[in-house]
Amino acid sequence: MAGALSRPGLLYHMNIELLSQYLVAGLTYGTIYAIVAIGFNIIYNATGIINFAQGEFVMLGGMIAVSLHHIMPLPAAILAAVLMAMIIGALIEIIFIRWLVSPSVLRMIIITIGISIFIREAALHIWGESVRALPYFTGTEVTVISIGDVHISPQVLWVTGTSAVMVALLTFFFSYTLLGKQMRACAANRDAARLCGISTANMVTLSFVLSAGIGALAGCVVSPITYVQYDSGTGLAIKGFTVAILGGLGNSTAAIAAGLVLGILESFSVWVLPTAFKDVVSISILLLILFVRPSGIFGSVEASRLKEF
């Protein structure tokens, strides 16, 4: 019996080039997951809600950008797509979330799931079922930057670069701008923030806007590699949650590390397990973390207990 049983894979030695190649693959996936996780964390910090529709923002960013690219140059299309996604994020918050009065966790979960389904089906009927992608930002599908035997597509550098810039901007925003500090105040203690005159309702809307924006940008920058399709959002969302929880819900810096860790683990799992079960690896890691240390690898146990459910 040929095929699955003859696994020369386990016999050949893992050399440094192979290792590096897997590492690069892992970093690519990992950065994408981390960005989705940061999106979750922003909303979670401001509202205590996990937004199951986060993955759809990524999908929308890519889809809108591809459609706009037909009528405007690439950078403009991306910018416009991100702006439109931000507007959609704000609309979602205003229409569906804003006027709910202390909803239960279950209700919020179900509402955001409903929103995610709705966006996905709307995308199906607007854009059809085919996959779309933006053109590679630099080079084409075959250009690579080769370091020895390790090959990296320039787009991967765009993904990591853009993500790094986004993270830097967000950190600056939260630490040094008034608006950012107000959002952090809201996350720390909602009532106290309100007493200080901060409009918590607007902070919530802002958190959706930000999340949608970074999700959409990630969707644009990653679409040449992975393609977007009307249902690409769901899979990404699940990976994003995994990473967010791994790092500790609400902790965005940890999310980056957790994302990279998960991406690399998944990538290396291909070496030992049948690739059909790659996703099972990440979910098993999620379950393990949830059972053993739900506050995440880097989270603090007391802080996670403080968040009310």
Partner 1 sequence: MVRSRYIPVALFAFSIIAVQLLTALTDRAQFLTQLTMTGYYSLVIIGLCMLIGYAGQISLGHAGFFAIGGYASAFLTTYNLAPHKEKPVISIFAKTGLLLNVQDLYGGDTLVFNPWLACIAAVAVTVLIAYVIGGPVLKLKGHYLAMATLGFGTIVYKVVLGTSFFGAADGLSDIPGFRLLPGLEVSGKTSIRIQNYYISWGMVLLGMLLLTNLINSRVGRALRSIHSAEDAANAMGINTGRYKLNIFVLSAVFAALGGVFLTHYNGGIGPSEASIMKSVRYVAIVAIGGMANLWGALSMGIILNFLSLRGYFGSYDDAVFGVILILIMLFAPEGLLRREVFRGAKKWLSGRGKAEGQKA
Partner 2 sequence: MKVCKMFAVLLLACMIMATPALAKDTIKVGAILAVTGPAAFLGAPEAKTLEMMVEDINKKGGIKGKTIELIIKDSGASPEKALSFAKQLIEEDKVLAIIGPSTSGETMKIKSVAEEGKTILISCAAAEVIVNPVAKYVFKTPQMDRDAVIKIFQQMKFMKLTKAGVLSSNSGFGDAGKKQIEKLAPEYGIQIVANEVYDKAATDLTAEVTKVKASGAEAIINWSIEPAQAIVIKNARQLGFKGPIFQSHGFGNVKYAQAAGEAAEGVIFPAGRLLVADLLPSDHPQKAVLMQYKKDYETKYKEEASTFGGHAYDAMTILTKAIEKAGSTDKEAVRTAIENLKGIVGTGGVFSFSPQDHNGIDINAFSFEMLTVKKGKFAILETSAKHEEHIKPKK
Residue 130: which of partner 1, partner 2, none does it interact with, CB under 5 to 8 A by kind? partner 2
Closer to partner 1 by Cβ: residue 118 or 127: 118
Q: Whole-angstrom Cα distance, residue 112 to residue 92?
A: 10
d(CA 78, CA 75): 5
Helix (H, G, I), strand (E, B), or coil: what is residue 283?
helix
Interface of this chain with partner 2, residues 240 to 269, rule: CB under 8 A: 266-268
Question: What is the biggest distance separating any 2 CA atoms in the chain, rounded to whole angstroms?
Answer: 72
Q: Is 179 in the site for partner 2 (CB under 8 A)?
A: no
SS3 133: coil
187: nearest Cα among 168, 206, 169 = 206
Q: Which does 25 bind (CB under 5 to 8 A by kind): partner 1, partner 2, none?
A: partner 2
Find the shortest distance in angstroms from Cβ 32 to partner 2: 8
DSSP letters, 157-198, are HHHHHHHHHHHHHHHHHHHHSHHHHHHHHHHH-HHHHHHTT-
User: Whole-number minimum distance, CB 3 to partner 2, in Å?
Assistant: 4
In terms of CB distance, is 15 or 104 closer to partner 1? 104
CB nearer to partner 1: give 152 or 244. Answer: 244
Give the separation between CA 149 and CA 133, rounded to whole angstroms: 28
Residues that bind partner 2 (CB under 8 A): 1-4, 6, 8-9, 12, 18, 21-22, 24-26, 28-29, 32, 124, 128-131, 133, 136, 140-142, 144, 146, 149, 151, 153, 222, 225-227, 229, 231-232, 235, 266-268, 270-271, 274-276, 278-279
